Amino acid sequence: MIFFMKKLLVSILFLSALSNGCSLFRLNENKFAVSISYNANKSENDLRNIRVVVGSDKFWWSAIKHGEKKSVNLYVKKNYRGNLSLIYEVTGKKMSWESENFTENSNYEIDLIVNSKGDVSKIIKTK
């Protein structure tokens, strides 16, 4: 009985790691480490309904406050030849931004800064 319980526990831990995106199982994918910050006056509204999408992987935040920075890792299959999309709201106005196409088979580090007008400045680095 104890042997069975240990085996069950190991199986549960393995499946948990698999479902949480353990990097061991991401050998055939490129990582996009995306960070987004909102550079606005403290009196202005938060950045809202932020969606970041690359390939079929996506992430959403309800809000980012002035001076706050949020980060997420998104994954796509190797040799991805698309772009990164950012969809968001500034003072109730829906906006979007798209990067240029990614052509290098690499991992990327992407820093996006949104100002109070909704303009996006970017820093994209390969790793």
Each residue's pLDDT tens digit, 83-126: 999 999 998 899 999 999 988 888 999 999 999 999 999 998 88
Tokens of 69: 């920075």
Residue 22 has pLDDT above 60, yes or no: no
Residue 82 Cα distances to 4, 37, 77, 79, 101, angstroms: 47, 23, 11, 9, 5
pLDDT range class, residue 40, cuts 50, 70, 90:
confident
Q: Would you say 72 and 32 are in contact if contact means Cβ atoms under 8 Å apart?
A: no
Query: For residue range 53-71, what is the model confidence (pLDDT) as tens digits?
Result: 999 999 999 999 999 999 9
Cα first-last separation, the chain: 48
Q: Rounded to two decimals, what is the model's pTM? A: 0.76
- What number does CATH give the domain 25-126? 2.60.40.2890
Residue in the structure block whose two tokens are 């772009």: 83
The whole-number pLDDT of residue 11 equals: 63
* Boundaries of every domain in the chain: 25-126
